[in-house]
Chains A and B, each alone.
Chain A
Amino acid sequence: MTTTARPPADLGTAEIAQKKWAKWQLYLGFVGFFLGLLMGLLQALDRMGFYLYKEAQLSSYYQGLTLHGVSMVFILTFAFGNAFLTLGVMRSLERPMASTMLVAASFWSAAIGVALAAWAILANQATVLYTMYSPLRPHVAFYIGAVLLVISTWIVLLNQLLTLRAWRKDHPGEPIPLLAFVSVVTYIMWFIASLGVAIEVLVFLIPWSLGLVQNTDPLLNRILFWFTGHPIVYFWLLPAYVSWYITVPKMVGGRLYSDGVVKGVFILFLLFSTPVGLHHQFTDPGVDEGLKLLHMLFTFAVFFPSLVTAFTLMAALEDGAKHNGGKGLVAWIRQLPWGNPSVVAQLFAMLGFVLGGVSGLINASATVNLVVHNTSFIPGHFHLTVGTAVALTIMGVSYWLVPYLTGKKLCCRRLAVAQSWLWFGGVMLFSRGLMAAGIEGQPRRVPVGLMTYAEESWKLWDIVTGIGGTLMVTSGTIFFIVIIGTLLRKKGSAGAVEFPIADTVYGPEQSPAILDRLGLWTAVSVVLILIAYVPVFVSHYYNFTSPGFVRW
């Protein structure tokens, strides 16, 4: 596997143009991140007793919460995935994407989507939170914005597949390079998963919000939303896994154990990410208990590839540290490159994911979930997963990706390293506070400054949460200082920046050829989804009786 970066002079015009669009896509994600941080600060302050929404010219906590959720989990994650896994395919196959027009189209689709959704939310026309549960009825611009964001991801997949087909024509019989494989499998998984929310919005919600049909079926919409709403967390997570598997071992001087194991892990995600949605609806009426348990079974199956990941990554880190002179059972950890901001961010991201994964298993456990469902335990959990494992990885990757795309040397490395420590310390307090208050009975999605039934036992934890959240926002602000400082530097100051790709101990030649049969795995994935969801849609009592409500 080649690891030398080609100097910029060798780049063709198509590749230069495509990298420019990928760069703008990444910056679009940063805009979302910035908006999300601002709203996060208001929420942290509310926990500490300062309800400042009027002062911030917002109509309510819930309007800010909608903006926070949409910015973080639709805009930041989608835009980052679109940019990173487009560049990954280019790097891995050593050719530009098949179509420059499609790279540009993905950016514009996402950008217009962001503009429409942001307008609807800021104009107080869409205070429905990111779950947009009907029959709360937002302005149609919110739905169209969401659809355009999803379409931007479909365009990326189309371009990836066209590029892969062209590569296969030029390389008959060769195994698919690992980075391209995992990038494409991530997007195939997401495409299948996104069909649920696409049908929900295009077929049911848009005609209903335009008044073309009078009534909708809120439970059906929930089922379609969660068809997408669980696999979406893997669409957030897998770009981070791509980085952990492919780039981090290289950066710590280690090797990836096996090409085949990584391909197998991503195939398991393709198979088991989607037939699990009902585990978000354990407490819903109108859905059969047995079907909920079937989805729980698949949920436990999708936990398995993450356990494999934990082992494989740890082995790659140990390999690197021992290669650099590290010794002992755990003392080698000190030998990891703790001065490299990109590595440090992702080490903390992994650590956060261990706790996030364990707390996720609690939520997935049907009856245990009754203790925590819709309590503040849940945001405590997902700020460890998407809010740390994914967000810190995005920041860590950005620390080399921005220099890679701009040719500008990363500024303020020590500050960038400190930023990761601060985020991790912040989220430890933040999630601890939320989880403890949740177990004590505090519901999620409620401003503590306004709630009329607050319990004494929540108060201490609210302060802990507020302090942790403030530290996270401070850390996020430092991230922007580092990125802006970098962008102010001279072009070319970075020299030739490499897109790091780890070597493997067992390379693609040793992987079973069946792993590369993407069509086969996609077909198996569809069969599993049919097993999980046909009974749900057949037994569902279709009840289109709910008119829309605007109650904010």
Chain B
Amino acid sequence: MATLKIEKWERWFLYASVVILVGFLVAILASIGEAGIHLPTDEGSLDPNKVAETPPFDNPGLRQTGDGAYEAVMVARTWQFTTGETDADGIPTITVPAGSEVTFIVTSGDVIHGLYIPQTDVNAMIIPGRVTKISQKFETPGEYTFLCHEFCGLANEQIGHHSMYGKVVVQP
């Protein structure tokens, strides 16, 4: 195999592999440390059977916590989010002005659910017994769908995991 000069090429390939992998790692760590994109982390625990009596989940809804800053306390249950507000069709909604930073504080009263808002960084699991906390700034007015993205069962073809969603309405 001397004709292939394999040893020299292999050595360079291995160096390149290490450089590429280390480069990716540095980029990801920079996205956390410098750009401040954070993963959900440990935010405490509770008894999922007592969600309705445990603050803040005893009173789901939107609260202003500062200038342009809001907390959206939500409870996920099969097969609906409770946000404290619904639109005319009964779809759970959260209404905020453009430019708001919304911190979603969510837990589950039964099985595992998910919270996902396409085209944003909001992508987190909702696990019974745990508190999920995740923040997102909404600059552009419009309707953002938030949906459950972990299989949580079904009642029938109309109602189930596939019908569990709500809307963030960002007003101009």
Interface residues of A in 502-552 (CB under 8 A from B): 505, 539, 541, 543, 545-547, 549, 551-552
B65 on interface, CB distance cutoff 8 Å = no
**Contact partner of B45 among A135, A318, A442, A543, CB < 8 A?**
A543
Q: A370: CB under 8 A from chain B?
A: yes
Instruction: Tell me, yes or no, whether A239 is within 8 Å of chain B by CB.
Output: no
CB neighbours of A136 from chain B (8 A): 111-112, 152-153
> Interface 1/0s, chain B 140-166, versus A by CB < 8 A?
000001011111111101101111010
Bound Cα distance from A328 to B78, whole angstroms: 61
A204 CB to nearest B CB, Å: 14
Q: Tell me the minimal C-beta distance from A51 to chain B in angstroms.
A: 8
Given the known interface contacts A365-B28, A370-B123, A453-B147, the answer about A285 and B6 at a Cβ–Cβ threshold of 8 Å is: no
Pick the contact of A286 from B28, B130, B147, B155 — CB < 8 Å?
Answer: B130
Among A218, A257, A281, A541, the most chain B Cβ lie within 10 Å of the Cβ of: A218
B149 to chain A, nearest CB (A): 4
A366 touches B32 (CB 8 A): yes
Question: Contacts A257-B1, A446-B162: A367 and B157 contacting too (C-beta < 8 A)?
Answer: no
Nearest CB of B to A255, in Å: 7
A293 at the interface (CB under 8 A from B): yes
Main SS at interface, chain A: loop
Q: In the complex, what residues of B have CB within 8 A of residue A370's CB?
A: 37, 39, 121, 123
Q: Would you call A287 and B42 a contact (CB within 8 A)?
A: yes
Interface size on A, residues (CB 8 A): 72
B40 & A311 in contact (Cβ 8 Å cutoff): no
Kindly specify which of A35-43, A228-236, A299-307, A474-482 makes contact with the partner chain.
Answer: A299-307
- Quick check: A551 and B154 within 8 Å, CB to CB? yes
Does B86 sit within 8 A of A, measured CB to CB? no
Residue of B9, B133, B163 with most chain A CB atoms under a 10 A cut-off: B163
Contact status B42-A286, CB under 8 Å:
yes
Contact A285 B21 (CB under 8 A): no
> Which residues B10-33 have CB closer than 8 A to chain A?
10, 13-14, 17-18, 21, 24-25, 28-29, 31-32
| Cβ proximity bits B35-56 to A, threshold 8 Å, 1 near / 0 not | 1011111110101110000000
Partner of A549, one of B6, B111, B130, B162: B111
> Which A residues are in CB contact (< 8 Å) with B151?
62, 129, 133, 445
CA distance A219 to B6 in the complex (A): 48
Of all chain B residues, which has the CB nearest A315? B6
Interface: B116 (CB within 8 A): yes
A447 within 8 A of B: yes
Give the Cβ gap from A437 to chain B, nearest Cβ, in Å: 10
Main secondary structure of the interface of B (DSSP, over half): mixed
Give the contacting residue for A443; candidates B9, B147, B163; CB below 8 A: B147
Q: A64 CA to B37 CA in the complex, in Å? A: 37
Q: Which of B102-129 contact A (CB under 8 A)?
A: 110-112, 114, 116, 118-119, 121, 123-129
Q: Does B132 contact A (CB under 8 A)?
A: yes
Please tell me if the beta carbons of A546 and B129 are within 8 angstroms of each other in the complex: yes
* Chain A nearest Cβ from B125, distance in angstroms: 5
The verdict on B4 contacting chain A, using a C-beta distance below 8 Å, is yes
- Determine if B74 is an interface residue (Cβ-Cβ < 8 Å): no
A441 close to chain B: CB less than 8 A: yes
Q: How does the 8 Å CB contact mask read for A316-329 relative to B, with 1 for contact and 0 for none? A: 00110010000000
- The answer, yes or no, to whether B75 is at the interface (CB within 8 Å) is no
* Contact partner, A547, options B25, B49, B161, Cβ 8 Å: B49
Query: Does A99 have its Cβ within 8 Å of any Cβ on chain B?
Result: no
Q: Which among A257, A283, A300, A539 is the interface contact of B21 at CB below 8 angstroms?
A: A300
**Considering the complex, which residues of chain A in the window 165-187 have a beta carbon less than 8 Å from any beta carbon of chain B?**
none
From B112, B129, B132, B162, A217 is in contact (CB under 8 Å) with B129
Q: Is B131 an interface residue (CB 8 A)?
A: yes
The distance in angstroms between the C-alpha atoms of A287 and B44, with both chains bound, is: 10
Interface pair A218/B128, CB less than 8 Å apart = yes
Q: Once the chains are docked, how many angstroms separate the CA of A66 from the CA of B147?
A: 21
* Interface pair A367/B17, CB less than 8 Å apart: no
Kindly state the separation between the CA atoms of A288 and B43 in the bound complex, as whole angstroms: 9
Cβ-defined contact, B47 with A545, below 8 A: yes
Question: Is the beta-carbon distance between B1 and A505 smaller than 8 angstroms?
Answer: yes
Q: Which of B42, B125, B163 contacts A451 (CB 8 A)?
A: B163
| Residues of chain A within 8 A of B152, CB atoms compared | 136, 551
Residues in chain B near residue A287, CB distance under 8 A: 41-42
| Interface, chain A (partner B; CB < 8 A) | 51, 60, 62, 127, 129, 133, 135-136, 217-219, 222, 255, 257, 281-289, 292-293, 296-297, 300, 303-304, 307-308, 311-312, 315, 318-319, 322, 361, 365-371, 373-375, 440-447, 450-453, 455, 505, 539, 541, 543, 545-547, 549, 551-552
Report which B residues bind A (CB closer than 8 A).
1, 3-4, 6, 9-10, 13-14, 17-18, 21, 24-25, 28-29, 31-32, 35, 37-43, 45, 47-49, 78, 110-112, 114, 116, 118-119, 121, 123-133, 145, 147-155, 157-158, 160-163, 165
Query: What are 9 A-B pairs at a CB distance below 8 A?
Result: A285-B126, A285-B130, A368-B31, A369-B123, A373-B149, A374-B150, A375-B118, A452-B162, A546-B128
